[in-house]
Structure 1
Amino acid sequence: MPAQKRTLPDELSVEQLAEHCGVTVRLVRAHQSRRLLHPPRRVGRRSIYDHSHIDRLALIQRLQKAGFSLAAIRALLQTGHNAPELALAWHAEGLAMRFPTLTDDSDPDLQVEPEGVAELHAQPGAWEALQSYGLVTRGPDGNWHGTHPVLVAVGRRAREMGMPSTEITRLQLQVARAAFDLSREILDSFNRIFAQRPSGNGRIENYAGMSAVATALVTATFEVQLSRVVRGVVGIPSDAP
């Protein structure tokens, strides 16, 4: 892509942009109307595009190829920073975390704890329950994939400590149910506040801000309570530093 960019002029028409990116002019304008693509610079009656539009269209194509919806892509782009790139990396890492069926011996480097997988396969409905809470997905090959690298890493560490996969699954589902209910409650609270504002329409537009505040709220509160429980188990006074 960089070598190709150098052969292009700094200023592009919508037709040149579409041709270079392998899309239609109609799609370029549709992405603009959806606020996925930033508007061009106007010079008189001409719309001038540049290489930043090429980069944005390429990023949108990569996200779509990875399975992200247009609504999800817009949310990622509005979040800013490197959120889209992080999402792509997260998606790729999640795909690599494959829990193979018992009869699948392909790609051994991608297998995650075959012993633990066997225990999960032995639990009727275990995978479907995990899927219902978004913890795993099932691919067209019939194999299950972890949807979050941290969850898979935690499961691996718990097994190394001697915790059975059945107990890990039970805890995952219990926490997932509680987290889902709590997330809905937080979202409802945010919506009520936003709806009370003079210009509010009951919808949260600042996705990045809402997500950051909600995550910090849950994380900090949970860490405090978990620390209190651990201190109690090991006999450390709750007011000790």
Structure 2
Amino acid sequence: MEELARLAGITVRTLRFYRERKLIPPPRREGRIAWYDDHHLARLRTIAALLERGHTLSGIADLTETFDHGRDVGDLLGLGAPTEEEPVRLTPEELADHFTGEVTAENLAAAMELGYVGTDGENLVHISRRLLDVSAALVREGIPLAEVLGAATRVREHADALAELFADLVLRHGPEEDLQRLRPLARSVVEAEVSLAMDRKLRKRD
């Protein structure tokens, strides 16, 4: 415990307090000896970074509980499922930097439930760099992250319906292998239609 506290730059008393608040997982025990490892040190450094960014210990406790019980990266990405999206590995403090003041336990749980975020040891993995960047840009424009995630849930429903429509169209006229080959065409159709729909919406508001 003394060695871990020294490496983390905190006192043993603070470390005991973090353990009592369950901010760090319990050590591995062999008889009367308690062993801490790099995961404990990484968690302590994450706590320090979040405190520096203005998070309270109560908020950090909620985040770590959500973090420890969230979906792991295997559930998030699937087992060898094809994707055009680029996953992004993040530390909790890096995620906090993307969404300043908006990374609450509720928002993190919503992102995990939506399938945007999973855990991988002490790190987080966002399923799509494009979605991460767009979500962060919307928050910077003043839209609360909770509302961005709520809108994403509705978009997901429409996206699933569009994917089903395109898959049915392709499979009626060709083998299943064509789905992967022709998916860029589906993306182009959706992007063009959304662009035209935005044109119609803007014209109505003028």
TM tier relative to shorter chain: 0.5 to 0.7
How far residue 165 of structure 1 moved from its aligned partner, in angstroms, is: 0.9
Is the contact between residue 113 and residue 156 of structure 1 (CA under 8 Å) also seen in structure 2? Answer: yes
Residue 173 of structure 2 corresponds to 193
Residue 14 of structure 1 corresponds to none
Residue 153 of structure 1 corresponds to 133
Change over 3 Å in CA distance of 1:178–1:144 after alignment to 2: farther
Residue 139 of structure 1 corresponds to 120
Is the contact between residue 129 and residue 173 of structure 1 (CA under 8 Å) also seen in structure 2? Answer: no
Residue 219 of structure 1 corresponds to 191
How far residue 214 of structure 1 moved from its aligned partner, in angstroms, is: 0.9
How far residue 226 of structure 1 moved from its aligned partner, in angstroms, is: 1.7
- List runs of 5+ in structure 2 lacking aligned partners: 1-76
Which of the two has higher C-alpha Rg?
Answer: 1
Is the contact between residue 155 and residue 168 of structure 1 (CA under 8 Å) also seen in structure 2? Answer: yes
Higher relative contact order structure (alpha carbons within 8 Å, sequence separation ≥ 6):
2
Deviations 1:181-229 (A, max 9, x none): 21022101211122xxxxxxxx322345411211111111111112211
SS at 1:138 equivalent: strand
Q: CA RMSD in A?
A: 3.0
Tell me, in whole angstroms, the C-alpha distance in 1 between the residues paired with 2:109 and 2:78: 27
- List runs of 5+ in structure 1 lacking aligned partners: 1-66, 77-82, 195-202, 236-241
Tell me, in whole angstroms, the C-alpha distance in 1 between the residues paired with 2:98 and 2:156: 21
How far residue 146 of structure 1 moved from its aligned partner, in angstroms, is: 1.7
- Structure 2 residue identity aligned to 1:211: R
Change over 3 Å in CA distance of 1:188–1:139 after alignment to 2: same
Residue 122 of structure 1 corresponds to 106
Tell me, in whole angstroms, the C-alpha distance in 2 between the residues paired with 1:126 and 1:217: 29
Aligned residues: 130
Change over 3 Å in CA distance of 1:70–1:163 after alignment to 2: closer
Tell me, in whole angstroms, the C-alpha distance in 2 between the residues paired with 1:190 and 1:68: 23
User: Equivalent pairs: percent with the same residue?
Assistant: 18
Query: Aligned match of 1:167 in 147, 158, 167?
Result: 147
Runs of 4+ in 1 over 6 A off after TM superposition: none
Tell me, in whole angstroms, the C-alpha distance in 2 between the residues paired with 1:130 and 1:224: 27
- Structure 1 residue identity aligned to 2:201: V
Deviations 1:141-183 (A, max 9, x none): 2x54321111111111111111111111111111012101210
